[in-house]
Amino acid sequence: MTHKTLLLGQTLLFDADPMTHAWSDAVRVDPAGGVLISDGHITAVSDGATLLRDHPQSQVVDYADGLICPGFVDAHVHYPQTAMIASWGKRLIDWLNTYTFPEELRLSDPAYAAEIAARYLDLTTACGTTTVCSFTTIHPHSVDALFDAAAARGQCVVAGKTCMDRNAPDGLRDTAQSAYDDSKALIARWQGQGRAQYAITPRFSPTSSVEQLSALGALWAEHPECLMQTHLSEQVDEIAWVRDLYPDARDYLDTYETHGLLGERGVFGHAIHLTPREVDRIAETGAALVHCPTSNTFIGSGLFDMAGLAARNIPVGLATDTGGGSSFSMLRTMAAAYEIGQLRGTALHPAQLMWLATAGSARSLHLQDQIGHLRAGGYADITVLDLASTPAIAQRAAQAETIWEAVFPTIMMGDDRAIRDVWIAGQLQR
């Protein structure tokens, strides 16, 4: 007999995209819901009483007032930066040179790469994150380390070798040819193996030559099943640098587009200072953008235009951008997204924030059929929130007249204490 587990509690359910539909029509919470798990997948979602009646032999886990959610999906991270998160006082380019590149050099040691990969997944799982999309380093074994660590947990991870052949230190540069060859070999080894998903990964235009971008564009054309991830228009001084390096480009996006690195499966982190042409082309191609709010404030990048970009039907994900971002927590990231929305004059509703951290990010990674929702057929990647995890949150939630008034204090003040349980592929993580 197949083992079945039944989770009971309040269930978070999505019927549509609350960024383009009224949130009240798109997102709902069943106050007495249930999620049935079998063989690593969700097999049924309904009211708890019905599932309990129809599956009496199930192992029951009753979360009472806990909120059963899809696992959080972090759509843009740098796992090699785990150890230097929250480093003080730099903007992007100086921050890379002072903190990031020296730490990434340490991952030339395969043992250290494996240590950091395991540590990173431990830290993010504790924060309720079940899937990440990560940059690595130029070292192929840094990709292996993350995929190996994820496979041991049954976890879906998107990652790719970070490619850089200029404007980086000795020891962190590859070549156009080695970037192509290493990435091609890694795709053969990992793409679609278990839950691994490969992303072709030029770091960003300033650290890739025209030859390398062209080589990676050719590789993506050969492997259109892969994602392509990079950075776009994060800071104004970065954009000025790109203009100097690519004087013939129409804009920052054009440095990718010219070399075959713009398409439906493209994922661009940050995208704060976009020109109208860039927005038009992103919308036309169906590429995704990823909002990294704690990073954007921490290193002083700017304010992402969530409302304006969502109105163009551009897929938008949410991300910590570890370690440019200052937290491993998607709760803290949702709170920062709310704060940036307020500064832009658009207050995101908690239903929208929860969608962005789950289904929205999953869609940006083309994983919406596997994760990001509580629905039959998807992987049982589930995070359960305690909506009264601290005295400060509990006293606020106790006054709530609606479920959203109860959820919002956890978004704004919650941390790893709010993560009651995490399930990955139907296995409880402890």
Compute CA 218 distance to the chain's CA centroid, rounded to the nearest angstrom: 26
Q: Are residues 350 and 210 in the same domain?
A: yes
Q: Looking at residue 91, what is its pLDDT? A: 77
Largest Cα separation within the chain, whole Å, is 68
- E strands, 185-314, where? 196-202, 227-232, 266-270, 288-291
Buried b or exposed e, range 375-392, using 16+ CB within 10 angstroms: eeebbbbbbbbbbbbbee
Same domain, 295 and 205: yes
Q: What percent of the chain has pLDDT over 70?
A: 100
Closest among 303, 308, 311 to 270, alpha carbons compared: 303
Distance CA 228, CA 63 (A): 39
Query: Of the residues 313, 345, 364, which one is the last residue of a structural domain?
Result: 364
Q: What is the DSSP letter of 379?
A: B
Clarify whether residues 399 and 274 are in a common domain.
no
Bond prior to 323 in cis (omega within 30° of 0): yes
Residues 340 and 316 in one domain: yes
Closest CA to 319 of 131, 190, 140: 131
Which pLDDT score is estimated for 204? 97
Q: Evaluate if residue 285 carries a pLDDT over 70.
A: yes
Q: Are residues 101 and 224 in the same domain?
A: yes
Over residues 10-54, the pLDDT tens digits come to 999 999 999 999 999 999 999 999 999 999 999 999 999 999 999
Structure tokens at 156: 């879906």
Q: Given 338, 364, 390, which residue is the final one in a domain?
A: 364
pLDDT tens figures, 265-283 = 999 999 999 999 999 999 9
pLDDT at 376 over 90: yes
pLDDT at 2 over 90: no
Domain stop point among 314, 332, 364:
364
Each residue of 185-238: pLDDT tens digit? Answer: 999 999 999 999 999 999 999 999 999 999 999 999 999 999 999 999 999 999
Average of pLDDT values for 121-141? 98
Are 27 and 113 contained in the same domain?
no
The CATH number of the domain holding residue 77 is 3.20.20.140
| 235 shares its domain with 184 | yes
Do 40 and 148 reside in the same domain of the chain? no
- Residue 289 and residue 390 in one domain: no
More confident: 95 or 158: 158
Q: Are residues 142 and 213 in the same domain?
A: yes
Q: Indicate whether 1 pLDDT > 70.
A: no
> How many separate domains does the chain show?
2
| pTM assigned to the model | 0.97
Q: pLDDT digits over 378-397, tens only?
A: 999 999 999 999 999 999 99
Residues 64 and 76 occupy one common structural domain: no
Query: In the beta sheet, which residues pair with residue 428?
Result: 423
Question: Secondary structure of the chain: what % helix, strand, coil (to 5)?
Answer: 40, 25, 35
Q: Are 64 and 90 members of one domain?
A: no
Summary mean pLDDT of the chain: 97
Q: What is the DSSP letter of 80?
A: G
The residue range of the domain holding 311 is 72-364
With beta carbons less than 8 A apart as the criterion, state whether 394 and 40 touch.
no
Instruction: Indicate which CATH number applies to the domain containing 59.
Output: 2.30.40.10
